[in-house]
Structure formats: structure tokens, C-alpha cells
Amino acid sequence: MPNNPSNTSAAYLRSRVGRVCVSLQATTVPELLERAEVAMAESSFLEFRLDALHHMEKHSTVITSLKTIAKFLSAHPQIVAIATCRRKPFGGSFTGTTLEELEVLTRASEAGFALLDMEIESAEEAERGLFNTLREAWLESGAALMISFHDFAKGVDPEPIFDRIQKFAPDYIKIVSTARTLTDSLNLLQWMKQRSGDTQLVGIAMGEAGIVSRVLSLRTGSAFTFGAAPVGDPTAPGQMTARMLKELYRIEDLDQATKIYGVAGNPIAHSLSPLMQNTAFRRERVNAVYLPLKVESVEDLLAVIRGLPLSGLSVTMPLKLQLLPYLANVDPLTAKLGACNTIRLGADGKLYGFNTDVAGIIRPLEKRLPLKGARVLVLGAGGAARAAVFGLVEKGADVSVWSRNEVKANDLAAAARAKAISRKVIAASAFDVMINATPCGMHGSSHELPLEPEEWKARLVFDLVYNPLDTPLLQLARKRGFATIQGVEMFVQQGARQFELWTGKAAPEAEMQRVVLFALNKAQHP
């Protein structure tokens, strides 16, 4: 029995497509092709958003534009190209009719595009006889068909959408929703895992809460996923660059044995923890990935911990407090501090809590001086100050606490068996170490220096603020001849301790610090 031409063409295409497709958009054809040239260094699998080109609704412009693109594709036969011309009512920029969209896709098939992306609404609106005729023409040109669905407002139940699309028997089915919660991403991933064996399926959840679906989509059966181009804006909310997906998250290497970790908070997209921990996993050849998890509620997070499942988790405030009731047990530091920043999933399926914030403060100090008997002044009485005070007292340091909020300073000092101190006494004293655990100097913070320059003396100043790297307090300390420690050391050391708790291996601290410093410097000096 002869092969079905459609099946043969689709099978050939599947042998050529990559796992990460780079999405390209521009307002002019020359700019679009320039971006394609740059993107080719990362991938030969490219999506051309034809709907973003100006005047694409004009028939003459369509022909002229696609003739130019055809020459480019002919000159670069290694490229596997997707043609997308999404209409404006369905999330694109094309203002033409359904018939005009079909004309664009037909011209694209003749221009050498390997895959045509049509939204389900257009497929349903098209006259069935015309659709079948065009499908045959596309097939003769060697182009396969992907029918897609997009919801830019919410998460959706993919099953009825799958049924709608399946009626047209496309070569690929693409379902894209918007994750408002982590659970939305989880639901899509679990559905894809069940359905991916039935057809060539592409599934993504957009938005910050959908990042987990972008990273784990290949692992759960998506035929491929999309990444942003190195030049130009992303083509969808939450879209990361293809390079980030491949190099930082290593999505092409993730398998069912890959352990999943993450940092939970809101907002979380700009956290440097994924960069630091994924670098450490790669350096130490650990089969694991670390994700940013935008959390809307504790219940949302718990569903993802169980559903993925997660092997470990870093948490930010207020989750450090909110998750305590759900932990089977905690380490002594967490019990003392009443706050947990690290979670590990035990072999029994239960959650165990740890606090590595203390290690983040103690380790940099111990590299520089003996802490037993050291006179330490801690500025602040919040969570970071609490970790510093309890950790230092346990090491035998003589700890004094000062805060603008005297009541909180007194309570913290009493709880940790330290002592509260007044500004007058500070001015008359000399300390071995002063630690700033206030938001003073933080990027975007309007807080002034907690103490005037003449009010304190300390041989070593440790600012827990790490953005910017060189805070006003550190600059002042250096001018006065004092040694300094940047807050990035705390960030790296607490992360290194988390890595060790999760993997049982020594953390590559130098490499972790190098990539974080590079990222901070690049952000501050673009």
C-alpha cells in the first residue's frame, strides 16, 4: 500500500525540526531577514510572524514580501521555517479577512515555508471545500499544517480545544493559554503528558506563571517550543530567549529523571536564583533544573510541589512563614527563627524545612575573622536581621541590635539573647563588624542611611543589600578606611548551602558568584 503523501511529508518535517523554534517579528521584510540572520547562529528552526509586517493585508505587498523571503530561504536551505499570519481578533496583527489569510499561507507554502500556522477560528470559518483544496496545494508545495489556539486572558481546558482542532487532521496541534496561576501551567503539562502520544502536540502557557510550562514542555511531550529571538521583542508574554531556554535551562536535555527545583515568590521573574542554581547544576553535572515560580497562594504552590513534583524549593517572604504549618519537620535554626527559606521533599513524600539565610551571613564573616567574642552591630530588626542576630549569637559573638523601631529591636534582642543598643551608645563604641540588614541603599528604595557617618565605627562593614553591588554604605565605609563585604556574598552563600542540602555535593561557590556578579554588573552597566 503506497504511503500517504501527507504522512510522508510530515514525517520528513519531523526529522528536520528542532526542539526550540525562534520566533521572529519585524515591521519590514529587510529587518525581519536581518533578525533571521542573527537567529540562525542559535537555531535553524525559525518562525516568521508575517502578520507583524506592515501592509500585509494588501495583495501586492504579500506577493512582493514573500518573493523576497523566498530568496532568503532558498539561499539558506538548512532553515526550517514556520509561516504565521495570525489575524487581529485572535491575538495577531493581520487585519485581513480569512480568505486573505489563506492567500498569505498559500504564497508562503510556495515560498519555501515548511510549516503553516493557522488559527482554529480561521479553519472553522473557511469554506470546507476551499480549505481541502488549499490543503492539497500546500502539501504539493511540501508544507505541513499546524492549527493553533490561543487564549490571551486565562488558562483553559485543552481537551475540547484539542477535539475542535483534531477534526481538521492537521500535522501539528498547538494549544496556548495564559497561566494566571502555577496550577494553570501544571494542568496543561499534565494534560500534554497524557495526550502527546496521540499526535504531534505543541503546548505552552503564557505569562510569568507560565514559565514553568515553557521550560518543562519538551519533557512532557511537546513536539517543540518557542523562544524569543536574540534581537527584537518577544512575540508572546513570558517568552524567554531561545538561548536562555537552551543554555540556562537546558530544556533539550531534560528527561523524566530530571529533578525539579524552584524559587517561589511574587514577583519572581527577575530573581537571579535560577541563574545561580542552574549554573551550579550544570557545573557539577547534576540532572536537575531550577525554575522561577510565581505564586498566587500557598495552595497554588502546594499543588505544584505535589503535581510536578518538586524535589526542593527556595522561598521568599511571606512564604517563609506561610509554609511552616505544612512542613513535617524543620531544622533547629528554622525552629529558632520561625522562618524557613529552603524546602526539601523527603523520600517519604513529606516536606522538610531548613534555613540557609544564617549560613549566608555567617560564612562570609568566618572567612575574615573569628566570630567568638567579636563585637557585632546589627542594623535592623526584620527577617534578615533576625537571621544575622541568631546566627551570630550561636557562634559566640557579642551582638548589639539597633533599629528605628525600638520595640522590634528590644524584642529581637531578648529572643536571641543579644542586647538592644541606643544611637548614643553606638557613637561611643567601636565594633569589629557592622551589618546592615535594612533596605537602606537597595535599588529603588528611598531609605536614607540608618546612621550618620560619624555615629559608628567598625573594622568590617557587611551590607546585606546586593543590588546595587556597591551600596552607599559600602562606599562610605571604604572612604573611612574600613573593610567591606558586598551583599552578593550572602546571596551566593545561602544559595550554595541550598545546593548542598539538595544534592549532597559541595557547591561550586566561585562559579555561582561569578555568574551573579556578571549579571548584576551587566544590569547596572548595560
HEC assignment per residue over 403-454: CCCHHHHHHHHHHHCCEECCHHHHHCCCEEEEEECCCCCCCCCCCCCCCCHH
Is the distance from CB of 277 to CB of 293 less than 8 angstroms?
no
Element (H, E) at 8: helix 5-16
User: Distance (Å, rounded) from C-alpha 388 to C-alpha 502?
Assistant: 23
Is the distance from CB of 446 to CB of 388 less than 8 angstroms?
no
Task: Please give the biggest Cα pair distance in the chain.
Answer: 96
Active site residue 320: yes
The dihedral sign for the CA sequence 310, 314, 318, 323: positive
DSSP state of 51: G
The active-site residue out of 294, 320, 336, 395 is 320
The dihedral sign for the CA sequence 211, 216, 220, 225: positive
Is the distance from CB of 378 to CB of 395 less than 8 angstroms?
no
Q: Give Cβ neighbours of residue 164 (< 8 Å, ≥ 6 apart).
A: 120, 124, 149
Q: Give Cβ neighbours of residue 513 (< 8 Å, ≥ 6 apart).
A: 488, 489, 492
User: Which residues carry out catalysis?
Assistant: 320
